[in-house]
Structure formats: structure tokens, C-alpha cells
Amino acid sequence: MKDKVVLITGGSSGIGRALALEFGRKGSKIVITGRDAGKLAEVGAELTREGIDYLAVTADVSAQADNELVVSRTLAKYGRLDVLINNAGISMRAMFEDLDPEVIRQVMDINFFGAVYATKAALPHLLESKGSIVGISSIAGYRGLPVRCGYSASKFALNGFLEALRTELLYSGVHVLTAAPGFTASNIRFASLGKDGSQTGETMRDEDRMMSAEEVATHLYKAVVNRKRELVLTTQGKLTVFLNKLFPGFMDKMVYNELAKEANSPLRKRS
């Protein structure tokens, strides 16, 4: 990946930050985006200390015009684009019966339409470079998770989009990777939306027992280099995807029981 230009949406924290450092250390030129200019500057300072050539653009991935601006600025500085990593994402946690549907729209705008807009803006240049399109999905895109219906819906939509796009681009030379990290220690749960759309500001899982963002970035780097079709991480994640295909009814109960153990879980059995 030396001298390749890699655009990472949601590059100001978590997996996005780890990806910027991982690809940058391998010699890639990095473009990071995010809504928080302060956090982008912090990651930029890290990249500078590592001697990594980068461009940071404050942008909202859910706005089509912002994505077009990011790509135009990337081309203006580097003259090419080799890898697009659709990483920007947000989660939510609430029972559907209690949920304001507007929360699902917000999640879809970032997790799904953000990837659509970024990919649309980047595709002509990726066709030229025969580059890679990466979508950071989730195990929740293969198996619906209770209390995260909007998040699961956005990741199922992303998976379908990437699969269809991969098939359309089959003979174009463009590589499309669907990556499902599983539960990862990052800020996504702290920033997740509650039933009314406000940020919860807390995690309901033990972050210390999860795969780190840096481990995820290492796996993702190798998957891009090897132009893999799919990447499913963690033993729990792989088992969930596999067993859900074979024993969906059994997995309904298993997934329910697992997520009911979370701190302050709203899941409850009814008579």
C-alpha cells in the first residue's frame, strides 16, 4: 500500500483512527474525515508525529455535498484515490416500541447513506485506479440484534449495497470488501443514541474484553492488500454468522439471552 491514497470516513476516533495509523505506517497517504474538527486535529497530530502524509477534512458523511468536497480535495492534493474505507458509523440502543423513528433515520443517514454518498463520489476515481471500496459493517448486518433494530437495519442495508456493487463491478478491476469487526473496544457505544435520539454517554458492555481497534485495523489492512471479499472477526462473530444460517430459531434465543445480560438491558420476557 506504499504511496496509495486511502480515504477513511469517520477517521477521528476508534477504528477510523487506528486505520489511519495502520495504513499510514505502511506508507499510504491518508485522508481522514469527521464532523469534529478538534478530534480530527488530534489524530492529525498523531499522524504528523509518525511522519505520515495526510489530509484532514471536516465533513458530515450524511451530506452528499460534503462527500463530493472531500473527494475533490483529495484529488486536488494527491491527484488520485486508491482506497475508500466507509467507516463512519453510529449506533443506537432502545426497544423499538419505545423508539422515536427519527433515531432510525439518523442512523441510516450516517451508516448507510453516508457510505452510498462517499462511494458515489469516489467511484470514478477508484475505477481509474482499480482500487478498493471497503464497508465497515457489523455482525449486526448478518444477524439482527434486539435493542439495536435501527443499527442492524443500517448494516443489513450496507451489506446488500456492497454485495450488489461488488457484482456490478465484477469485471472492472475494483475490489469490494465487506468487513464485520464484531464487538470492538471503541467509542461507538458511548456515542450511541437512546430512544429519543440523545447520546447515552455510557457503554453497556465490558470494553476490556473486546478486540481492540488496533487489532481490527491490522486485520483490515491485510484484507485490503489481499483483496478479500469478506472479513468477519472474533470467534463470537464467526460463530454467530455461521450458526444463524443453520439454526435461526435457536439463535433467536441465544442472542436474546446474551444481550439481556448487558447492563440496564431493556429486554424482558413477557407472559
> How long a stretch of residues is the chain?
271
User: How many Cβ atoms from other residues are within 10 Å of residue 218's Cβ?
Assistant: 14
Other Cβ atoms closer than 10 A to 38: 9
- The answer to whether 63 and 36 have CB atoms below 8 angstroms apart is no
Please give the C-alpha separations between residue 104 and each of 51, 66, 150, 194, 224, in angstroms, as whole numbers: 40, 21, 5, 11, 30
Of 206, 186, 219, 252, nearest to 15 (Cα)? 186
Give CB contacts under 8 A, 24+ apart, made by 159-162. Answer: 159/135, 161/112, 161/115, 161/116, 161/135, 162/133, 162/135, 162/137
Q: Find the catalytic residue in 54, 117, 151, 221.
A: 151
Cell for 9?
470516513
Sequence-distant contacts of 247-253: CB under 8 A, at least 24 apart: 251/143
Q: Any catalytic annotation for residue 78?
A: no
Catalytic residues: 151
